[in-house]
């Protein structure tokens, strides 16, 4: 039986399919300095849908809501880069994963709050080199957010040419460039993001670039890169069923919101 919800959802799908590709600026509340450790919500994922019977409506299920996550702790590199990977000290245009930016260059500053690894970049000698790219399946008409935590590795507040990071979706600039600020706190990170919707389903390459020109302070770190469906989107297994309304929560999890009226369990 078609419920009203299904009809509404079909209508929204048609409406979204008619929209052009859109990239909008990140919300102002995301602009603040951010500590990665406080955003690590994946450990809270539960796996048993049947627990809903006990009334746990906050249960989070791993689903297609999280299209990609790169923690930079993977044993095999989980992204591509226009920078050259190295294991020792860095020169311009090189990167490594590390727990402490001083292993990249004695003049760098930065650590992941979790004590694990992040990607450490010695700025390229030209602008707009891809720092990290992932190719991911994107569903038509679904609103996504790409995000990554970033920081300047500079230890000098007066240095020019600080990194200005921006996302590119299928080669098109997405979101607004984020000029990374000098920061004296080793574990302080800033959020860079972009929102996008595609007209057709396809594998899409999403990259983070530094737009600034070469300079003494053009060095940066990346941590916790994610592409996830935005809150309220429904895709994959995160759709209504069994009497419950389910939707992506914006953090990569599928959330059961409420009982669906008129549908039996
Ligand atoms: Ca990490
Ligand atoms: Ca440098």
224 CA → ligand 1 middle, Å? 6
Least Cα distance to 255 among 121, 8, 60 occurs for: 60
263 CA → ligand 2 middle, Å? 60
Q: What is the mean pLDDT of residues 143-172?
A: 92
Q: Per-residue pLDDT for 18 more than 90?
A: no
Q: pLDDT band for position 242 (50/70/90)? A: confident
110 CA → ligand 2 middle, Å? 14
Q: Give the ligand with the smallest distance to the CA of 91.
A: 2
Asked if residue 211 lies in contact with residue 128, where contact means CB atoms within 8 angstroms, the answer is yes
State pTM to two decimals.
0.75
Better pLDDT: 262 or 256: 256
Q: State residue 164 phi and psi, 5-degree precision.
A: -125, 105
Q: Give the ligand with the smallest distance to the CA of 223.
A: 1
Q: Give the ligand with the smallest distance to the CA of 74.
A: 1
- Decide the pairing of beta strands 94-98 and 84-85: parallel
Q: pLDDT band for position 261 (50/70/90)? A: low
Asked if residue 254 lies in contact with residue 248, where contact means CB atoms within 8 angstroms, the answer is yes
220 CA → ligand 2 middle, Å? 9
Mean pLDDT for the chain? 80
Q: Give the ligand with the smallest distance to the CA of 70.
A: 1
Q: Which fold has domain 21-38+66-231?
A: Jelly Rolls (2.60.120)
76 CA → ligand 2 middle, Å? 25
198 CA → ligand 2 middle, Å? 36
Q: Give the ligand with the smallest distance to the CA of 89.
A: 2
What number of residues does the chain have? 265
- Residue 170: predicted pLDDT: 97
118 CA → ligand 1 middle, Å? 5
Better pLDDT: 41 or 219: 219
Asked if residue 63 lies in contact with residue 237, where contact means CB atoms within 8 angstroms, the answer is yes
Q: pLDDT band for position 24 (50/70/90)? A: very low
95 CA → ligand 1 middle, Å? 15
221 CA → ligand 1 middle, Å? 11
Least Cα distance to 36 among 139, 119, 158, 154 occurs for: 119
114 CA → ligand 1 middle, Å? 7
**SS3 of 220, please?**
strand
**SS3 of 15, please?**
helix
- Decide the pairing of beta strands 253-259 and 60-62: antiparallel
Cα 123 to Cα 129: distance, rounded to the nearest angstrom: 9
Q: Give the ligand with the smallest distance to the CA of 153.
A: 2
- Residue 63: predicted pLDDT: 66
Q: Give the ligand with the smallest distance to the CA of 97.
A: 1
Q: Give the ligand with the smallest distance to the CA of 112.
A: 1
Q: Give the ligand with the smallest distance to the CA of 99.
A: 1
Q: Give the ligand with the smallest distance to the CA of 219.
A: 2
- Residue 44: predicted pLDDT: 34
């Amino acid at each position: 039986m078609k419920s009203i919800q299904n009809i509404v959802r079909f209508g929204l799908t048609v409406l979204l399919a008619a929209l052009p590709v859109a990239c909008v600026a990140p919300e102002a509340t995301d602009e603040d300095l951010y500590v990665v450790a406080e955003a690590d919500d994946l450990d809270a994922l539960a796996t048993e849908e049947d627990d809903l019977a006990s009334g746990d409506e906050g249960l989070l299920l791993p689903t297609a809501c999280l299209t990609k996550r790169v923690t930079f702790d993977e044993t095999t590199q989980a992204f591509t880069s226009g920078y050259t990977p190295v294991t020792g000290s860095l020169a311009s245009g090189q990167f490594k994963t590390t727990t402490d930016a001083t292993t990249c260059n004695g003049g760098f500053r930065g650590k992941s709050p979790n004590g694990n690894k992040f990607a450490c970049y010695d700025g390229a000698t030209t602008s707009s080199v891809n720092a990290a790219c992932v190719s991911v399946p994107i569903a038509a008409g679904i609103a996504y957010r790409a995000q990554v935590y970033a920081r300047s590795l500079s230890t000098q507040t007066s240095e020019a040419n600080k990194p200005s990071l921006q996302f590119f979706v299928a080669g098109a600039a997405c979101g607004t460039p984020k000029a990374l600020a000098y920061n004296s706190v080793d574990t302080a990170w800033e959020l860079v993001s972009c929102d996008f919707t595609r007209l057709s389903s396809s594998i899409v390459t999403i990259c983070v670039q530094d737009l600034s020109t070469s300079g003494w302070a053009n060095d940066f770190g990346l941590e916790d890169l994610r592409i996830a469906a935005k809150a309220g989107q429904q895709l994959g297994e995160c759709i209504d069923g069994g009497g419950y309304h389910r939707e992506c929560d914006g953090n990569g999890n599928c959330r059961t919101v409420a009982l669906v009226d008129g549908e039996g369990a």
